[in-house]
Amino acid sequence: MVLHLALNIFDRNPGLQFLARWAHVVVGVCWIGLLFYFNFVQVPSFAKFEAATRNEAIDKLASRALWWFRWAAAATVLTGLLILLAEVDAKGNAALFSGTYWKSAEGTSIATGILFALIMFLNVWGIIWRNQKVVIANARNVLSGGQADPAAADAGRRSALASRQNIIFTFPMLLFMVGTGTFFGGYGTGVNSALNNKPIYWVIVLVIAAVFELNALGILGGRAAGNITNWVYEDHWRAIGTGVVLSGVMYGVWQIVF
């Protein structure tokens, strides 16, 4: 009943549809902007601080930034859900519940972006924030005169790997989110081609996403800095380059398959 009412409200009110998209962009900018800040500014800067200064900054600065970071991620997912409720297929059904929409080129493109975004969201709440709580608690304990937590270093490493992986996934995620109306949803592709080739496409995409994520979790090559599998995570420029290359690979896969 509530869902049906919400669908009717969105369907009859273009202003609410626009508001959902506008809010999605605003909170998405906040999320990804803070992700970039952590990796491009905070981490390299904190590495040059003295221990006491770094702990003070973690307590006063990082903890506040992480609050906005994790809730912006949650708000991005929520507003994305509202957009899918507002979007309708040719029969007037909400895209979220439309098999026709998800089988189309547009739906396949959006679904690809959603896949990367959801993995990133799970990294934020399941890996980054869970481990950063240990780092923050350790900083506050040391500042108050307590002993350092030996688990804090490993927690920081786990968080850093997941954060760098999110940098990498940001590029293909935005490629498909932004490119749905041009390159993927409306350029040289259609419902029939998406229907015929979608299983092949999804096998390739899921394998790529799984390999990267398992690597970031340390399951494939461990979490040590010297491991060759972690080369892409040791510097934010490497993560950026890897994300750009991955975007090119994903674009090439789309063009070849469809």
Task: Please tell me the total count of domains within the chain.
Answer: 1
pTM of the predicted structure, to 2 decimals: 0.91
Output the six-digit token pair for 226: 């010297």
pLDDT in tens, the chain (258 residues): 555 555 556 555 677 778 889 999 999 999 999 999 999 999 999 999 999 999 999 999 999 999 999 999 999 999 999 888 877 665 667 777 777 888 888 889 999 999 999 999 999 999 999 999 999 999 999 999 999 999 999 999 999 999 999 999 999 999 999 988 777 765 444 444 555 678 999 999 999 999 999 999 999 989 998 899 999 999 999 999 999 999 999 999 998 888
β-strand partners of 88: 94
Alpha-carbon distance values, 203 to 114, 184, 189 (Å): 16, 18, 19
Domain housing 143: 2-257
> Cα–Cα–Cα angle for 170, 173, 176, nearest 5°?
145
